[in-house]
Amino acid sequence: MTPYELRFQIFKQAVGLAQDEYHASYELVALHNENSSKKWDYPPFPSFEKIEQLAEKINDFVSSN
C-alpha cells in the first residue's frame, strides 16, 4: 500500500467516525424532541475541519512509537 493509499484509508476512517458520532447525536436529539416539550437543537453535520482533526489524531496514534 502506498503512502497515499494509507492517507486515504485514514481519511475514510475519520469520515466514518465523524458520521457515526453525528448519527448517534442526531438520534438522541430526535428521541428527546419526540418525548419532551423542551426541544434541543440538532447537531451540525461534521465539517471538513472536524474530519481533518480526527484524521490527524488517527495518524498521530498510528505513527507514534
Q: What is the pLDDT of residue 64?
A: 86
Residue 52, all three cell numbers:
481533518
Residue 54: inside a domain, yes or no? Answer: yes
Q: Model's pTM, two decimal places? A: 0.86
Q: Residues 36-45: what's their mean pLDDT?
A: 97
Whole-number average pLDDT of the chain: 96
Q: Grid coordinates 423542551 are at which residue?
A: 38
Q: Residues 55-61: what's their mean pLDDT?
A: 95
Residue 39: inside a domain, yes or no? Answer: yes
Residue 2: inside a domain, yes or no? Answer: no
> Is the backbone of residue 18 left (phi > 0), alpha (psi -120 to 50) or beta?
alpha
Q: How many structural domains comprise the chain?
A: 1
Q: What is the pLDDT of residue 51?
A: 98
Give the CA distances from residue 23 to residues 4, 17, 37, 38, 65, in Å, rounded to whole numbers and listed in that order. 28, 10, 22, 21, 33
Rounded Cα–Cα distance for residues 17 and 35 (Å): 28
Rounded Cα–Cα distance for residues 19 and 23 (Å): 6
